[in-house]
Amino acid sequence: MTQKRQSVSFAAYIAMVPMALTVLLAYLGTMLWTARVSVSSSRTFPASDFVGASQYIRLFNNERWLLSLQNVALYGVLFIAACLVIGFLLAVFIDQKVMAEGALRTIFLYPYAMSFVATGLIWQWILNPELGIQEVLHKLGWTSAKFDWIVDQDMAIYTIVIATVWQASGLVMALMLSGLRGVDDEIWKAARIDGIPRWRVYTSIVLPMLKPSVSTAFVLLFVMVVKVFDAVVAMTQGGPGTASEVPAKFIMDYLFGRANIGLASAASIVLLLTVLAIVAPLYFVRNRRAAMGA
């Protein structure tokens, strides 16, 4: 019996080898390696010296990096807020026992099935100042209409917001809708008897009940913000100039284009710490709530 038990658990250990390798090498190993390189003088090749925080100091003196942080912060706030608001509204309106509910859900969610590259390219075409919406408005007789954000230094980042909100707000709708469907009908009955208007019920009672859906959506959207790269490359290539530069793209450029892996590593560690600082508390709160609920 003991003999058999041992051989069986051996198989379980063997089965865990891919996961162990992934965790140790691909996740922990690469993190340590990158952290190590970020305090070396590495340029084209990794060096093994120690230069303290000087890569970090260079990084935060790098205007392009500061711009990319500023952009991603602005982008992140707008993108997350717009997706949450639009997604919530779509879910609430769909939840009014409307006709063709299935078709509407399909329409709102299909962009999410497409890649960020495809999404970026479609919007690049629609927003093209010579042949896109601006030109259509001119043709309609509104010759002073100006909608050239995509080539405007100050506005380019907003076009990325438009395209990615179009892509991702259906996802929020799907999450919120499943949350709304979980709301007890008794609440609606009670509210009707008390004569409380529907919008009040939504804002004061239902929305607080949707907290789990909202926090899930927030985490997903936040991860997308940190990752934002494909859409920028497809739409503006970080331009005009460096006007729509984002951290993920900055790092890729310095790793592979400008051969400055020390600086790029420092930047990725900064990104990592930011993510952990925001996601870890949420994760912790949720696990605690789950543990208390159990």
Partner 1 sequence: MPTPRPRRSPAWTPARLGVYGFLIVAALFFLLPLYVMLVTSVKPMEEIRLGTLFALPQHLTLEPWVQAWSSACTGLECGGIRSGFWNSVAIVVPSTILSIAIGAVNGYALSFWRPRGAGLLFAILMMGAFIPVQVMIYPLVRVLASVNLFSSLPGIIIIHTIFGMPVMTLLFRNYYAALPMELFKAARIDGGGFWRIFLQLMLPMSTPVIVVAVIMQVTGIWNDFLLGLVFAGSEHLPMTVQLNNIINTTTGERLYNVNMAATILTSIVPLALYFISGRWFVRGIASGAVKG
Backbone torsion region of residue 141, taken as left when φ is above 0, otherwise alpha when ψ lies between -120 and 50, otherwise beta = left
Please select the residue that binds partner 1; options are 49, 63, 185, 194, rule is CB under 8 A.
185
CB of 287: closest distance to partner 1 in angstroms? 10
**Among residues 150, 157, 156, 159, which one has the least CA distance to residue 129?**
150
**Among residues 233, 228, 247, 223, which one has the least CA distance to residue 120?**
233
Please say which residue, 89 or 155, places its beta carbon nearer to partner 1.
89
Please say which residue, 18 or 141, places its beta carbon nearer to partner 1.
18
- Among positions 50-109, residues that touch partner 1 (CB under 8 A) are 86, 89-90, 93-94, 96-98, 104, 106-109
Please say which residue, 115 or 153, places its beta carbon nearer to partner 1.
115
CB of 164: closest distance to partner 1 in angstroms? 12
Q: With contacts defined by CB under 8 A, how many residues of the chain interact with partner 1?
A: 102
CB of 118: closest distance to partner 1 in angstroms? 5
Please select the residue that binds partner 1; options are 123, 147, 149, 202, rule is CB under 8 A.
123
**Among residues 201, 226, 230, which one has the least CA distance to residue 276?**
226
**Quick check: 193 binds partner 1 (CB under 8 A)?**
no
The site string for partner 1 over 27-46 (x = CB under 8 A, - otherwise) reads xxxxx-xx--x--------x
- Among positions 3-22, residues that touch partner 1 (CB under 8 A) are 7-9, 11-13, 15-16, 18-20, 22
- Tell me which amino acid residue 158 is: Y
Q: In sequence order, what DSSP letters do the residues of 56-106 get, joined into one string? A: HHHHHH-HHHHHHHHHHHHHHHHHHHHHHHHHHHHHHHHTTT-TTHHHHHH
Paired tokens of 106: 């399909």
